[in-house]
Amino acid sequence: MAVPVSDIYDEFNHGLPSPQAIKDFLSYAYENYTAPRPTYVLLVGDANRDTLNDLGHGINYIPTYTFHTSEMGETPTDNWFVSVSGDDPLPDMFLGRIPVRTQAELEAVVNKLIRYPQVPLDGWQRQVLFVADDETRSFEAVSERLIEQHLADYIPKRVYLGEYADVEAVTRDVVQAIDAGAVVTNYTGHGSLNFWAGEVIFNFDDVALLNNPDKLTFVVALNCQNGLFSYSQPFRGTTDSFAEVFLKAESKGAIGMFAPGGLGYPSQHEMLAHELFKRLFQDNETELGSLTTMAKIAAVSNYGISRDILKRFTLFGDPGVRLRLE
């Protein structure tokens, strides 16, 4: 069922744009629609922090909610929309966002979603790419633990910054590895709105170098801010985050990306990744919405890490997509 956001504003907030109106609608649907309850929520449209465009930052197609963190201050979270049952922040539905601003951007993403399940299994779906920053080699160690504990039946490919003397060579090898096929691309290390590592081993401009129309990857970013989709100050002519560029790239890039909108801690990101990789590669839980949501919940429940991780990470893409594992 597709619901125009304008109809939600009319019904739940007297026609005025408001993230609370969207949450009220989802809460009403969850509690009152004929069984079974709604399971999936897909937000189609970009957001910024200026809901009513008071500061002239442009149209806020589907606004997000912001929460306060001690590390960064206001941080976007779509998880808030689907925490509708009880007074806890646990999500009750599987949510993803396609943060587009134009019809052309939407068509590019939809075409990838249509094509992805039609691609035959031919070996590359057993390959998993691990990219790691070089600080004290600790990020490499995280990648190695993930490989050792969860990838017995898959083929890991490694691009570790600490093993290179030339940043351009790192970028080249990341591009070549994704082009060759990686069902998942995992990055562990420092990051920001639009790049990986302080040395900028891969940034949102480099997505244009990819040539993987039939080998779309699912990107997991264990860093900071790659999913800051509500950023409203243009950088190099765009306000898009790394996750937005990866997802919206036409006939290349990612089928989805799981990334944080704020700052975080490597130890917590590792616990989240263990839950995600266990569910995907050992339990064969391939549906993106269930995979990412249940991994977040399990990381909080099993390891006692901050519940902020529930709010900080966003799934960019369709929560109903199933990864093509071989």
| Residues whose CB falls within 8 Å of the CB of residue 38, separated by 6 or more in sequence, listed in order | 26, 29, 30, 93
DSSP for 74-103, written as a single string: EEEESGGGG--SSSS---SSEEEEE---SH
Taking the CA atoms of 305, 288, 45 and 38 in sequence, report the sign of the dihedral they define.
Answer: negative
pLDDT exceeds cutoff 90 at 56: no
The confidence score (pLDDT) of residue 181 equals: 99
What is the CATH architecture assignment of 5-98? 3-Layer(aba) Sandwich (3.40)
Residue type, 170: V
CATH of 103-317, one of 3.40.50.970, 3.40.50.1460, 1.10.3720.10, 1.20.1510.10: 3.40.50.1460
72-97 average pLDDT score: 92
Parallel/antiparallel/unpaired status of strands 217-222 and 254-260: parallel
Task: Quote the CA–CA distance of 239 and 308 in Å, as a whole number.
Answer: 24
Percent of the chain residues past pLDDT 70, beyond the cut: 95
Domains 5-98 and 103-317 share a fold: yes
pLDDT exceeds cutoff 90 at 113: yes
pLDDT exceeds cutoff 90 at 128: yes
Which single residue is written with the structure tokens 């170098």? Answer: 209
What residue spans define the domains of the chain?
5-98, 103-317
pLDDT exceeds cutoff 70 at 235: no
**Confidence tier at 231 by pLDDT (50, 70, 90):** confident
CB atoms within 10 A of CB 267: 11
| Residues whose CB falls within 8 Å of the CB of residue 97, separated by 6 or more in sequence, listed in order | 42, 43, 44, 47, 62, 78, 229, 314, 315, 316
pLDDT exceeds cutoff 90 at 55: no
pLDDT exceeds cutoff 80 at 73: no
Of residues 231 and 107, which shows the higher confidence score? 107
pLDDT exceeds cutoff 70 at 54: no
- Residue 42's nearest CA partner among 22, 57, 59, 28 is 22
Contacts 24+ apart (CB under 8 A), 249-253: 249/108, 249/207, 249/208, 249/210, 250/108, 250/111, 251/108, 251/111, 251/112, 251/213, 252/207, 252/210, 252/211, 252/212, 252/213, 252/216, 253/207, 253/210, 253/212, 253/216, 253/217
26-49 average pLDDT score: 95
Q: Give the count of alpha carbons within 13 A of 76, CB side only.
A: 29
The confidence score (pLDDT) of residue 71 equals: 66
pLDDT exceeds cutoff 70 at 260: yes
The confidence score (pLDDT) of residue 105 equals: 98
Check residue 158 and report its DSSP letter.
E
The confidence score (pLDDT) of residue 196 equals: 98
The confidence score (pLDDT) of residue 37 equals: 92
Q: Which two tokens stand for residue 104?
A: 């052309």
Q: Phi and psi dihedrals of 96, rounded to 5?
A: -140, 165
Residue type, 12: F
At 156-187, the pLDDT tens digits run 999 999 999 999 999 999 999 999 999 999 99
| Residues whose CB falls within 8 Å of the CB of residue 244, separated by 6 or more in sequence, listed in order | 46, 99, 229, 316
Residue type, 233: Q
Of residues 236 and 105, which shows the higher confidence score? 105
Percent of the chain residues past pLDDT 90, beyond the cut: 86
Task: Quote the CA–CA distance of 326 and 317 in Å, as a whole number.
Answer: 21
CB atoms within 10 A of CB 58: 14
pTM confidence score: 0.96
